[in-house]
Structure 1
């Protein structure tokens, strides 16, 4: 990884290729002015973000993964006093507690400092903050509250850190809190400065702008001159686009690449939508119906409960032979909280 000196004037963090899955340095290039020109229907959200950028407190962005999410986070960084400092992004989906600790707080075995220290004085974007394990939630809440990170080699030593944290989620954190999957202190810390990016299907003006942009962009890229008929255009404007801008972009490229004629008619659009988003699911449903059932002895044991946290607590208790003190330490909670959860989930029966 490059040092701050080697990074020069670029405010994006640099990491080795092995880090890119979990930790990547995205140069923060987006600005609020740029977003306002592109996303008309997001103006209220962008205006609120401008005000939040003045603060150093954590910000929560409620949104599915999308270009808008990444651009909004970059704009907040560039609209703040930290714009000349580092901007780093980490993704937590599918990671273990150990991996999360190494990525956030460093790994003494490899000598890496971790994303929090690497982002000191700058901004750290945590994508999928709902994926944080409970022990990591506790550590992150402590860092936000005390502005200190504990040393790996001496637990009595702490290092001061000054950074802004932006968290994103597509989940209902309040519901996760009710299921004991998200800490109350972290929830209330992040929800004070909350932004919500509306889904693309709720933003008709943005769909129109993005459709025009991608049509022009792919025509230019592939040296074509395709145009949409009025009915075809209307069909695309009314489509829900559950995958947001990413789905719309991919569809437009395919639409241009396989267009049968210069004018893109509604029957072609309808057949393409059906091929990409309807026939696909039907194919897998058919495969599922025609697949021979898996023998029970070949499957792994699946918890019977629909409550994931109950299964976690039960598994920890079993692993520790019912020792509540060890179980509480492993879960990162107090023995009193563990007792309450045991009562709540009827695990003592």
Structure 2
């Protein structure tokens, strides 16, 4: 239907019905030109004949702000927002478009409704905003309660856990890039997913890409996708990349420190402009995706080494958050043990409990693998132990008890000082190696050479067995 056809249709029943409505109705073409308005719109704005005028020009003149038709044209979707007229009248305005046969915009239909005079008063507006914020917070708390049992990282009452919980609630709806850092197993994936759940994107996809688990030759096609026939061996129909698949949602780039250097400029372009090109395609595409990145390596060091772009680091580091290791929030160890015990008891139909001895032992353990290591250990105990009470004897034979129970040898009258000092050195050597699982790291931590460590291992008859020092 053309503008001329609309004018001819002016006397028909539909337009008569629209003219009876007390709310302003507008019909615009794809360029923002006004084709028709109902009587309510003419009466409300009182600026002469609206037909033929352009909403972009009217917005520039300050007749209203923002133009709902302009937003629909730019975003090509249904829009509903508050609008203020030149007379400081607040309207609730909605707009949508009628597509042509190709799916492009042909006409834009907008509808406005005046808000009550009470809401127009600033005090009432503040009250409404306060109520909306309260509802928003209550909804978030309900989401937290509903998903708490599935979000393992946040079990616990330590100061670190509580401060992180407050932090992620604050930043969930701040639609910008987040960089999570921390050791392996501290819960970066769970943290990223929780941010997604509490954000306005929670109804859209959450997609996880482990940059360190995909071969460098494949990561570009996985992330950006490729067109039909882009390269030999490519899928004959092409492939949608994860960026496109995550449109309107969240893309979690885990182990971002392993992202190939030659592709970092392409990722940077997407972070800056939300645009990208598929492999084998010259057409620039857009995707509205929030990026959450995570790493367990020092990206500042990678920048110094030249393996990570400085500009990409700064673009990722807008909202940085370091997640503490489990040994730095020891108050959460017992709650986590009980949480996973309950979880796996239910999963495997068991009724195990934890003895005081094993609780003390596990509380003092360093948990180098953090929550992931704790979870795996409890699942193993629930499966393999006859029960019902789990004790130290139920721990796996490869569990390093010396980390939690090791004591220095006592001085007795028959023992010389050199022997006693050697026993202390041996104890420290075993403890440090079992923490680092590396003779080089052990030497670095103790401030000696690696060859010195090797010599002491021979002197004390120690050998490496399954990443642990044992006596011959």
CA contact (8 A) 1:126 1:166 kept: yes
Residue 198 of structure 1: aligned partner: 324
**Distance in 2 between the 1:283 and 1:37 partners?**
35
Residue 172 of structure 2: aligned partner: 53
**Distance in 2 between the 1:154 and 1:227 partners?**
59
**Distance in 1 between the 2:215 and 2:350 partners?**
47
Helix, strand or coil at the partner of 2:162: helix
1:283 aligned onto 2:457: no
**Distance in 2 between the 1:95 and 1:169 partners?**
15
1:255 aligned onto 2:392: no
C-alpha displacement of 1:261:
5.4
**Distance in 2 between the 1:91 and 1:197 partners?**
18
- Taking CA–CA contacts closer than 8 Å with sequence separation of 6 or more, which of the two structures ends up with the larger relative contact order? 1
Residue 245 of structure 1: aligned partner: 371
CA contact (8 A) 1:255 1:272 kept: no
Cα displacement string for residues 212-239 of structure 1 (whole angstroms, at most 9, x for unaligned residues): 1223334444554443332321111111
CA contact (8 A) 1:32 1:50 kept: no
Distance 1:31 1:173, change over 3 A: farther
Q: TM-score, normalised by structure 2?
A: 0.49
Cα displacement string for residues 273-295 of structure 1 (whole angstroms, at most 9, x for unaligned residues): 248997x9932479xxxxxxxxx
Counterpart pick for 2:220 among 92, 101, 105: 101
C-alpha displacement of 1:37:
6.1
Which deviates further from its counterpart, 79-88 or 170-179?
79-88
Helix, strand or coil at the partner of 1:40: coil
C-alpha displacement of 1:166:
0.6
Counterpart pick for 2:207 among 79, 88, 92: 88
Counterpart pick for 1:112 among 210, 224, 239: 239
C-alpha displacement of 1:133:
0.8
Helix, strand or coil at the partner of 1:165: strand
1:128 aligned onto 2:247: no
Q: TM-score, normalised by structure 1?
A: 0.65
- Which structure dedicates a bigger proportion of its chain to strand? 2
Helix, strand or coil at the partner of 2:464: helix
Unaligned runs of 5+ in 2: 1-141, 228-233, 404-433, 438-462
C-alpha displacement of 1:267:
5.0
Distance 1:152 1:271, change over 3 A: closer
CA contact (8 A) 2:208 2:253 kept: yes
1:40 aligned onto 2:139: no
Cα displacement string for residues 85-116 of structure 1 (whole angstroms, at most 9, x for unaligned residues): 12111112143433111011112232112111
Helix, strand or coil at the partner of 2:202: coil
CA contact (8 A) 1:66 1:246 kept: yes
Counterpart pick for 2:181 among 62, 69, 72: 62
**Distance in 1 between the 2:307 and 2:210 partners?**
18
Counterpart pick for 1:140 among 260, 267, 270: 267
